[in-house]
Amino acid sequence: MSDGLDRQQFVAGYLIEAEEHLRLASANLLSIEAALQKGRAEPARLRELFRSLHTLKGLSAMVGVEPIVEIAHELEAIVRVADTTMGLLSLPALDLLLQGVRAIELRVAAFAERGPVEPAPRELLEALAAVQLGAAPAALSSASIELPAELLGKLGPAERLQLLQGVREGRRVVRIDYVPSPEKTARGITITLVRERVGKLAEIVKVIPLALPKDERARGALAFVLLVLSNAELQALAEAAHVSPTDLELVGIKTGDAPVTGVAPSANGLTDEGLDAPLRTGSIRVDVARLDDALEKLSELVVTRFRLQRAVAQLREQGVEVRELASIVDDASRQLRDLRASIARARLLPVAELLERVPLIVRGMSHSTGKPVRLQIDAGTAALDKSVAEKIFPAIVHLVRNAVDHAIETSAERRALGKPEAGLISVSCFEHANNMLELRVSDDGRGIDAAAVARKAGRELPKNDHELLQLLTLPGFSTLEQPTHSSGRGMGMEIVQRVAEGTLGGSLSMSTALGRGTVFTLRLPVSISLVDSFAFLCGEAAFVVPISSVEEIVEVDASSLITPPGVRPGALPMQLLQRRGEAVPLVPLSGIFSGVAVPLAVTSKALVVRRNGEPFAFAVDRMLGQQEIVVRPLEDPLVRVGGITGTTDLGDGKPTLVLDLPGLVSAAHREVSQA
């Protein structure tokens, strides 16, 4: 293996590690800030932050990115002093630390693109060097921890404060003595396993190794003392640690009357919901390129299966007995579906992880606008394919920025309205059937004035929220008179709709109430690479459409259709289909592609979809059935066409277009408007 290849692999590993540690550093800084604003410290988070910065510095030195080394060194120095002396970080100091992490992120991104890495900013380095820490909490000097001197001497200020804070929050301090033995080792019980199991029931503050006299009980002459904070039953802790309940002891702490911290809660505080990142075990990092390669191999297998099914069908038509062969094909299809599910799960990214950067965005917007904002994130266990996550995140950013810039009132306005001074933005995600997710971005701000939007757009007053959303998503439209550094350029909502409906084949809807707030709802497919689809014919051409975008397949009786007045001869015919008491616009899909009027068959099928909440139907010549497909997106701008999201192969060797039917609704409207 060449040196060049070794370096390339090492750099790839560095970028993965750097991204992970930067993510942890940002989350820990936000958690520390939120804790300070609530009047408490986060010594455990502080230690995790130090480890991330120290690792970043070392890795960056190994690949020779000196600007990152310089910045990380200054950040590490501040956190080291705060950790070892328990000096309090001020909110301005945390601002500087976040700026430092952002500066590292920019340089890591430049290094990943093989571009020039800018030198470390002198002003930032000088400001970091001048940071002064506050005094350690007086509670540390007044607290008395009932531990032997040999254990007490191994506790630093951070661990002592962590224990003290835990007691004040109503938890107990428990000492667990774990002594290894040959019998435990033979059963696979190690200190690593003990830490993992105890960590599920308690907050581990410190694991202290102790040397013991050699005897039959401890041949390794080494024991471990775990100091934990927990309200779990002692019996449960003993079972988790594989020790006897007699090896557990409650540790007494006298806290005195001094407060834990001297920081008063702030009205501008952010919640720390969504920042708790549990330790991940039993997992490995996999390069995305390897998952993409597995997906490519899977697509080849799917095409091969289509070809095999076609061959079996042809043999059956020729009178050949194919019962056993058909059974093998069915087994292979089932196994292929299982393989597809496994690869799809491997590509999933937790939505909670996708949203980890949202608190930073809200924090920055809150500071720049001067509006205090609280953020709530509830992603549950929802997950998205990585390709979907990468495409939808910019849309989420647009919605969040708009909420702060446009929706949330100033503090004075909110006080006058009787609202809490801090505005509330909520981001939540829920799983739905048919491999769909629903993601909501809501606020408790001023709501959207439909009359003002209509005046600004030069259009009629919208009758409902769907029509109002259509105005907001007009190209180049913005409600701000003057652009700011983050909003007002007329691109935000158009981009959100384009990504949600055009790129991902999902939907965007909105509900708003003046004075109470606005909710934007995105319905998204979990994956756009591996999808279940309907195949159908329009004329002689085959097309497919994701099942998730189709609301219903209905029978169409041409004799019962109503033709609205005002359509000139030869134009694309739009007719009205009666569907459970409502009139649904219906157009032949063949006519959209050919650009000429195509009469409907006496009876045919129609696919009903929704755009902005309104139903729309497309007539097709013949349904071919349901198939699972691998979608190949159209990346080249020269071949992109509205309403077409990609291509696939159904086994005949010909590319088959994957349609975005909601996107074709706009094309149909344009055709009718030109009639």
**Helical spans, DSSP H, in 428-464:** 450-457
Residues 375-396 as b or e (16 or more Cβ within 10 Å = b): bebbbeebbbbbbbbebbbebb
pLDDT at 391: 87
* Contact status, residue 386 vs residue 292, Cβ threshold 8 Å: no
Q: Considering the chain, what percentage of its residues have pLDDT values greater than 70?
A: 81
* Contact status, residue 471 vs residue 459, Cβ threshold 8 Å: yes
Tell me the range of 292-296, 443-447, 637-641 where mean pLDDT is highest: 443-447
Q: How confident is the model at residue 675 (pLDDT cuts 50, 70, 90)?
A: very low
The whole-number average pLDDT for the span 506-530 is: 87
Tell me the range of 88-97, 378-387, 413-422, 456-465 where mean pLDDT is highest: 413-422
pLDDT at 263: 32
| Range with the poorest average pLDDT among 171-175, 211-215, 358-362 | 211-215
pLDDT at 8: 64
Nearest to 468 by CA among 513, 435, 426: 513
CATH topology of domain 138-254: Alpha-Beta Plaits (3.30.70)
Q: Residue 281 pLDDT more than 60? A: no
Q: How confident is the model at residue 269 (pLDDT cuts 50, 70, 90)?
A: very low
The whole-number average pLDDT for the span 188-196 is: 86
Q: How confident is the model at residue 642 (pLDDT cuts 50, 70, 90)?
A: low
Nearest to 346 by CA among 274, 293, 276: 293
Q: Considering the chain, what percentage of its residues have pLDDT values greater than 90?
A: 10
Residues 592-624 as b or e (16 or more Cβ within 10 Å = b): bbeeebbebeeebbbbbbbbbbebbbbbbbeee
pLDDT in tens, 369-392: 889 999 999 988 888 888 888 888
Nearest to 597 by CA among 563, 561, 562, 570: 570
Enter the tokens of residue 224. 């471990």
* Contact status, residue 504 vs residue 391, Cβ threshold 8 Å: yes
Nearest to 522 by CA among 394, 672, 365: 394
The whole-number average pLDDT for the span 406-430 is: 92
pLDDT at 277: 35
The whole-number average pLDDT for the span 492-521 is: 85
DSSP letters of 303-327?
Answer: HHHHHHHHHHHHHHHTT---HHHHH
Tell me the CA distances in angstroms from 560 to 327, 574, 602, one per residue in order. Answer: 44, 14, 10
Residues facing residue 619 across a β-bridge: 588, 606
Class of domain 3-129: mainly alpha
* Single-letter code of the amino acid located at 203: E
CATH topology of domain 349-525: Heat Shock Protein 90 (3.30.565)
**To which CATH superfamily is domain 530-673 assigned?**
CheA-289, Domain 4 (2.40.50.180)
pLDDT at 441: 94
3-state secondary structure of 525: strand
Return mean pLDDT, the chain. Answer: 79
Burial, 48: exposed, middle or buried (Cβ in 10 Å; 0-12, 13-18, 19+)? Answer: buried
pLDDT in tens, 152-179: 877 777 777 778 777 877 888 888 888 8
pLDDT at 261: 37
pLDDT in tens, 299-353: 778 778 878 888 888 898 888 888 888 888 888 888 888 887 788 788 888 888 8
* Contact status, residue 355 vs residue 362, Cβ threshold 8 Å: no
Q: How confident is the model at residue 488 (pLDDT cuts 50, 70, 90)?
A: very low
pTM metric for this prediction: 0.66
Instruction: Specify the higher pLDDT residue, 119 or 343.
Output: 119
